[in-house]
Amino acid sequence: MTSVAYLNDIKHKEDELAIQYLPAVKAMAFRLKERLPSSIDFMDLSAIGTEELIKLARRYDETLNDSFWGYAKKRVYGAMLDYLRSLDILSRASRKLVKAIDYAVEEYMLHHNEEPTDEELSEILGESVEKVHDARIASTIYTVMPLHDQLQVGDEGSSLAKIEKEELIEVIKKVLSGYKEREQVIIQLYYFEELTLKEISKILNITESRISQIHKSVIRKIRESVGA
């Protein structure tokens, strides 16, 4: 009976540990949701994060890690990103369409100083409005992924597989050095400070469309630099 009581006590402590950090998980899910299209549900992200938090609490060893949230934070966020990957949002055909859309948007903005609508892109690319709309949503989801995920949107996987992580970091640094300071700040704020396009727009007083354009330009130049 003592051993059962002891095990129950441990389980209670593990659950208490998870409950303590539930607000942090919900805040993380909300923050990620702010950077995603409306088709992604906050409750789904929160549920995935909570499930991972409970698993982590039940195998947490405080003798190895002195901070539970320090141990759990990256893993919970990683579980949410894995969920987004699992949606299988980009088929091979739509990966090519995303790249075509990116080029078309950039070209359009050079002449009109604003992003084209789905209908305008449909006409430019000869694709249905529905396909263009879905591809743009998929593209938006991918912008919250780590750079390595984004660089493989297309047929670049084989090129990137040959590159060591350290070498890729050097390539990214070299590409960014070719941009103006404000454009480097945009990448810093988006990837490292995890601000939304709207927040960056308010800080730097430039349009969300322009921020998105700079971001996609950086991704494209990194791809070109690794020979993809």
pLDDT in tens, 89-112: 656 567 788 888 888 888 888 888
Does domain 2-86 fall under CATH 1.10.1740.10? My reply is yes
106 versus 26: the higher-pLDDT residue is 26
Is the model's pTM score more than 0.85? no
19 versus 228: the higher-pLDDT residue is 19
Q: How confident is the model at residue 161 (pLDDT cuts 50, 70, 90)?
A: low
Q: What are the helix and strand counts (H, E) for the chain? A: 13, 0
So what's the pLDDT on residue 162?
A: 58
Q: How confident is the model at residue 163 (pLDDT cuts 50, 70, 90)?
A: low
Distance between CA 68 and CA 165 in Å, rounded? 28
The domain locations on the chain are: 2-86, 89-142, 158-228
Fold (topology level) of 158-228: Butyryl-CoA Dehydrogenase, subunit A; domain 3 (1.20.140)
Phi first, then psi, for residue 225 (nearest 5°) are: -70, -30
* Residue carrying structure tokens 């949410």: 80
- Mind listing the pLDDT tens digit for each residue in 28-77? 999 999 888 888 899 999 999 999 999 998 888 777 767 888 889 999 99
Q: How confident is the model at residue 87 (pLDDT cuts 50, 70, 90)?
A: confident
